[in-house]
Amino acid sequence: MASSEQDTEALVHSDDANHPANHICTLCAKFYNLGWVTGTGGGTSIRHEDKIYIAPSGVQKELLKPTDMFVMDFNSKAYLRKPDTLKPSACTPLFFAAFERGAGCCIHTHSQWAVLATLLVERDSGKDACFEIEEIEQIKGIPKGRNKQGYLGYYDRLSIPIIENTAHEEDLRESLEEAMEKYPDSYAILVKRHGIYVWGDNVHKAKTQCESIDYILQLAVEMKKLGLPWTK
């Protein structure tokens, strides 16, 4: 094996379970069991120093291997490793939008609760669509926002903007970035009839926030069935 090829393969070979190439495989297997990434949908990406590790497109997420990972340079956006037989994730531009705002991990799911929640939010005339809920204990699992210390409290309102879906995932970037700028304290964006993007400062926080938000969205759907309001 040539030296350059050895260097490339070294990017995804590690005995450390927390190495990004290994960690993404573990996370995606867990997300599959939660029903978040069925049918090859969804994806996960981790920033490690100046490198971005990304799960490929069109691959069953519960069967991912470290050698399936794409690796990019954060600054140049050039591929450092690109498996010949796999397709780069269509989510890549959206992951980068989160990383450019300081995220260390970004998770995209096709959670049914996320999709249903987007359909239950009515767009008021002249107002952007946004999922909002308050006085739910699990809100405490969500940070207050960029450049702010601590987490939301029980009496705080959780707001998650909703953007319209597009035929091609990469075309979501512009509207996703607009929502990020309009809601700078949000760590998630819902995509109507599609799913959700959640990011965090590191893998632990992104996973915790994704789990907390999914719990809240499921609860919100059940509350709507019972005629219970999401906000006071």
Which residues define the annotated binding site for Zn(2+)?
108, 110, 194
Instruction: Find all residues with CB under 8 Å of 131, minimum gap 6, and list them.
Output: 117, 118, 121, 158, 159, 160, 161, 162, 190, 217, 220, 230
Task: Give the annotated binding-site residues.
Answer: 91, 108, 110, 194
Pick the catalytic residue: 9, 132, 137, 164?
137
Virtual CA dihedral for 176, 57, 211, 142, nearest 10 degrees? -30
Distances (CA, A) of 22 to 42, 45, 155: 17, 12, 38
Distances (CA, A) of 15 to 62, 63, 66, 221: 20, 18, 11, 41
Residue 210 near residue 109 (C-beta atoms within 8 A): yes
Virtual CA dihedral for 123, 98, 116, 62, nearest 10 degrees? 170
Task: Give the annotated binding-site residues for substrate.
Answer: 91
What is the Cα–Cα distance from 65 to 214, expressed in whole angstroms? 26
137 is annotated as an active-site residue? yes
Residue 108 near residue 189 (C-beta atoms within 8 A): no
Catalytic residues: 137
